[in-house]
Structure 1
Amino acid sequence: MRFKIRKGVESSSEQSVVMFRIRRSFLSLFQASDDEEVFTPECVQRDDEDKHKTIYRRRFGMNPDVMRLQRAESSSGQSSSDYGEVFTPECVQRDDQEKHKTIYRFVCSHAGQFQCSLTSLVFVMEDEGEVLYNTVSWDSGLGQVQPAGPLYNIECSAGSVSHLHFQHCVIFSEENKDCLAVAHVTGGNVEIIQPLRVTETHVIIDIRDLSIFGLIWIKKKLGFPIKGQVLLFLRPVTVKQKILNVHLLPGNVPVSEVQRWHLDKKYIETSSKCQLFPKKQYSLCCQPEDCEVQPVSEMFELDPFGPNYHPTFEVFLDVNIEEIRLGVLETRDGKEVWKTRRILLTVAPSKGVEPPVQRRIPETEFVKTNRDKLIQRVSSVMAIADSLMSQDMINSEMYSKVRAADTREEKMRHLLDALDSGGAAVKAEFCRLLKEKEHHLVNELGPHL
């Protein structure tokens, strides 16, 4: 007799109904031994079936081995670039947080596999739940552990995360596929977790509880290149000079984390991928050649995983220079690792078109247009209110109403009322503070603010 399993999970409980011809690969899971329960199935017939056809049914809780096998089959059948549904998290800040620290928030409504568009973290969810995660510093007394990626503090109150996928920067091959593990930090203790599987892009682990996780190297010496990236930030210095900051970073450093530390600079988006050797010296190739570059060469270190992201090189430019050509070379042999390309430092307006600065959204319009969304989504209400109060931009009565409100939404309603009373200057300062504390929200609601 041949059997085949058809599995389904009832929405009202964690039980499943299995109507089966048992598939041969699962047969051993249902065979009875001396210490296993023998069951008598319910015999049922469908309305359209003849008298000789009977379906055997058993209702039971899903066997953990079956669940693990299903997840393993799903994982092994998935390509390295296909990680289910991609989402962009909400970026929130708690009232006591400094301006550089942001918490990512993902509200999941159903089971599945979900990849964060900002950090490339993948969460395998067994049920709905809210996931909060943020980067933390590696320098927390972790001994000789060598970081291979950002360190994440991950929380999920519902406990519905079953697996985590961490993006790595290894150029995948048989030689280096076993060079990574995951450090799990709890209460000052470090547990080293061996991966279930390593794909071309991610390291996959299963988890029992959430806290702090990060990729680590388990090979002391790395004799192979890694996936790198070149990030550019432009900052004005004087009316005559500007500086282009050039960052050489591992490819699994989230761009959003670097941007957060350089809010006062303009991020210049360009094709950034390259391959870099740890401990090798690199130099910049820059045209025009009279641009000053410092330092002349620099060693690429494989440990810049935050919280600070300092530039590898600085290029000093005349303020009127609108375009340069830039490349990255290995200092010793002159080999290009990031091919020379055009970098536009400004976007000149077309003839007859207003400059972007004149088409920016006024702060008064931004506050009025986005009132409902600001009430629902601004998390740093008290921090903004405190700053406005310290500058005498809202009076003590208005501030007291904000402070006394029970919910964050009510606090924000009172604060917006205070902005309406204060006029354009107060709204401008509110928008400046909001960009400083929750710039991802401002970029989403008013990119031209």
Structure 2
Amino acid sequence: MDIPLNTRLRSKSLSEIERTSGSSGLSSRSCLLPCSHSMVSLSKIPREKNNFTQVNSSPDTLLNEFTPVISDDFDDENYTFQCSCPGLYQCSVTGLVFLMKAEGDVVYRTVPWNRKLLAQHRKKPAGPLFDIKCQQQSVCQLCLPHCEVISTGGGQFLQVAHVNDEGIEFITPQRITESHVVINITGFSGYGNVKDEDSPPDPVQALVLLFYKPPVDLDLRSFLNVLLLPRNVVIRDVQRTRRKLIGDERYIDTPPHCKLHPKQVYTLSAVPEDDLIKVQPTEADFDDEYHDSYFTSFQVILRIVFRDISLSLKEKSSSTCVWERDLCIFSPTVGTINLPPSERLLNTRSCFIEGISEPNLNSLIDKLLGKKVITEAEREAADTKQNRGKKARFVIDTVRSKGASLTSRNCLTFNPIFCTFQHLKLLECAEKVLVTFYGMKLSTFKRFMVILSPTLCIIRC
């Protein structure tokens, strides 16, 4: 699942973006920016009029948020901003802020860092590297998101690397705000935050990102992958990169923000705490250096389908909780949930007939009789069946024949997994499920649970 691109940020003034941190400066040159075969040609971008209010580049200039046009070509994803008037504009996907002196088309993308080149200058990445083009040369100021905690003295070692065909230069920021590094620009190509390799490991603004990998086929296990990343990563890039490396995952949109200490050891715990949930590894370091691979920090293995779990991230040394969330990871399949009760019974008929034990079947028949789901004559007819399989077949077909409304009501007794759950308490459902199906063969039970996965979360809620 991709993150929504229409999330609105509050309007800010230019004075909020500007907090002096030093004077402009630059240093050494070498190497080149990686080339791309898929960069969109500016001459081919259709012009569309944007409905932004025209503003002046004064300290009270309002920040207008825009959602870029996104084009995905081969391995690159390009963002396009079509600006119709001067002003201050922030990208809702990357967090980049452009101060525009006139109309223009800005095309940008993230590209890999040349770490060997940075190491030659004793630098390391402190955020994504953006390759930025503007044919009209109308961007006069660029604000790059950072993750430093400025209020506690962070950001003193930040610089902006400018990478182009001629080499690399390191620009001392003109201004630094709580969220952005501000530089004036005249040329275009690659820009990204860097800092000294030996800079102190001060706490940084960070994100805890969650990606859920649901069960596959007959395997009931699912995986919740937990990533600890600096705040200024581009979440869309994280999703796209992990899709290539890991495959399909569902991004869980929950408040991700926290403060983490680089090189500090953290532990992750999950609730409920039992043998059906395993967290691995037991501890992990937080690495604030920007990486392109976005590897998993913790993996939560769920041995059955859960609906709700709670996660908490703590510093190992002090046991201080730095991030805690209650999560709903269950997303029912609409097609299964919307099936009529009689069809849901039909979908699980063969598993029921094959798997339910004789004692549980007899107990179920008694409950169906007590709830007036079946008649005394139907109970006697079931008892005349010569073996368990024929009796189970008779019982489920009898209930299915009762009609849609009756089946929906009687599913509450027959099996809470089959019902619509509108009037059921979850704990009652869980109790009935466990009682009804404990007699199944393990292999059959697993197949049964996979078929019914959209509603199995009630077992552990």
TM-score normalised by length of structure 1: 0.57
Find 1:252's aligned residue among 232, 251, 273: 232
Find 1:343's aligned residue among 312, 327, 333: 327
Secondary structure (helix, strand or coil) at the match of 1:141 reads helix
Alignment length, in residue pairs? Answer: 272
Shift of 1:178: 2.4
Q: Does 1:323 align with 2:308?
A: yes
Segment of structure 1 superposing worse, 239-248 or 169-178: 169-178
Shift of 1:234: 0.5
Q: Does 1:119 align with 2:71?
A: no
Q: Contact between 1:282 and 1:297, CA under 8 Å: does it hold in 2?
A: yes
CA distance in 2, matches of 1:338, 1:273: 8
In the other structure, the counterpart of 2:66 is 87
Secondary structure (helix, strand or coil) at the match of 1:151 reads strand
**Could you say if the C-alpha distance between residues 305 and 124 of structure 1 is closer, same or farther in structure 2, counting changes exceeding 3 Å?**
farther
Q: Deviations over 1:351-405 (max 9, x none)?
A: x9738xxxxxxxxxxxxxxxxxxxxxxxxxxxxxxxxxxxxxxxxxxxxxxxxxx
In the other structure, the counterpart of 2:288 is 302
Q: Contact between 2:269 and 2:279, CA under 8 Å: does it hold in 1?
A: no
Find 1:152's aligned residue among 127, 130, 154: 130
Secondary structure (helix, strand or coil) at the match of 1:221 reads coil
Shift of 1:302: 1.3
Structure 2 unmatched ranges of 5 or more: 1-55, 340-461
Q: Deviations over 1:44-82 (max 9, x none)?
A: xxxxxxxxxxxxxxxxxxxxxxxxxx85xx34x57xxxx
CA distance in 2, matches of 1:174, 1:304: 21
CA distance in 1, matches of 2:132, 2:87: 18
CA distance in 1, matches of 2:97, 2:305: 44
The residue type paired with residue 85 of structure 2 is H
Shift of 1:229: 0.7
Q: Does 1:110 align with 2:121?
A: no
Q: Deviations over 1:206-233 (max 9, x none)?
A: 0110010000114723242100010100
Q: Does 1:314 align with 2:299?
A: yes
Q: Contact between 1:186 and 1:212, CA under 8 Å: does it hold in 2?
A: yes
**Could you say if the C-alpha distance between residues 294 and 174 of structure 1 is closer, same or farther in structure 2, counting changes exceeding 3 Å?**
closer
**Could you say if the C-alpha distance between residues 326 and 243 of structure 1 is closer, same or farther in structure 2, counting changes exceeding 3 Å?**
same
In the other structure, the counterpart of 1:195 is 173
In the other structure, the counterpart of 1:9 is none
The residue type paired with residue 286 of structure 1 is A
In the other structure, the counterpart of 1:411 is none
As a proportion of its length, which structure holds more helix?
Answer: 2
Shift of 1:344: 0.7
Q: Contact between 2:124 and 2:197, CA under 8 Å: does it hold in 1?
A: no
In the other structure, the counterpart of 2:158 is 180
In the other structure, the counterpart of 2:318 is 333
What pairs with 1:37-56 in structure 2 (closer than 5 Å)?
Answer: none
**Aligned residues with identical type, % of pairs:** 36
Shift of 1:91: 0.7
TM-score normalised by length of structure 2: 0.56
Shift of 1:127: 1.0
CA distance in 2, matches of 1:241, 1:117: 35
The residue type paired with residue 93 of structure 1 is D
Q: Contact between 1:183 and 1:192, CA under 8 Å: does it hold in 2?
A: yes
Shift of 1:285: 1.2
Q: Deviations over 1:164-195 (max 9, x none)?
A: 00111111136234221100011262211111
Secondary structure (helix, strand or coil) at the match of 2:143 reads strand
Q: Contact between 1:171 and 1:225, CA under 8 Å: does it hold in 2?
A: yes
The residue type paired with residue 249 of structure 2 is K
Shift of 1:111: 1.1
Largest Rg, 1 or 2: 2
As a proportion of its length, which structure holds more strand?
Answer: 1
Structure 1 unmatched ranges of 5 or more: 1-69, 356-449
Q: Deviations over 1:121-166 (max 9, x none)?
A: 0011111111111111113532322111111000111111110001
**Could you say if the C-alpha distance between residues 223 and 302 of structure 1 is closer, same or farther in structure 2, counting changes exceeding 3 Å?**
closer
Q: Contact between 2:111 and 2:131, CA under 8 Å: does it hold in 1?
A: yes
Secondary structure (helix, strand or coil) at the match of 2:242 reads coil
The residue type paired with residue 227 of structure 1 is Q
Q: Deviations over 1:84-114 (max 9, x none)?
A: 11001111023xx22xx21111111111110
Q: Contact between 2:201 and 2:263, CA under 8 Å: does it hold in 1?
A: no
Q: Contact between 2:100 and 2:140, CA under 8 Å: does it hold in 1?
A: yes
CA distance in 2, matches of 1:157, 1:176: 35
**Could you say if the C-alpha distance between residues 281 and 174 of structure 1 is closer, same or farther in structure 2, counting changes exceeding 3 Å?**
closer
In the other structure, the counterpart of 2:223 is 243
In the other structure, the counterpart of 2:182 is 204
Shift of 1:301: 0.7
Q: Does 1:139 align with 2:114?
A: yes
Shift of 1:347: 3.4
CA RMSD of aligned residues (A): 2.2
Secondary structure (helix, strand or coil) at the match of 2:151 reads coil
Q: Contact between 1:150 and 1:214, CA under 8 Å: does it hold in 2?
A: yes
Q: Contact between 2:222 and 2:305, CA under 8 Å: does it hold in 1?
A: no
CA distance in 2, matches of 1:327, 1:287: 9
CA distance in 1, matches of 2:300, 2:182: 39
Secondary structure (helix, strand or coil) at the match of 1:173 reads helix
CA distance in 2, matches of 1:173, 1:146: 22
CA distance in 1, matches of 2:160, 2:241: 26
**Could you say if the C-alpha distance between residues 324 and 176 of structure 1 is closer, same or farther in structure 2, counting changes exceeding 3 Å?**
same
- Which structure has the higher relative contact order (CA within 8 Å, separation 6+)? 2
CA distance in 1, matches of 2:318, 2:93: 35
Secondary structure (helix, strand or coil) at the match of 1:278 reads coil
The residue type paired with residue 90 of structure 1 is V
In the other structure, the counterpart of 1:276 is 260
Q: Contact between 1:253 and 1:305, CA under 8 Å: does it hold in 2?
A: no
Q: Contact between 2:80 and 2:107, CA under 8 Å: does it hold in 1?
A: yes
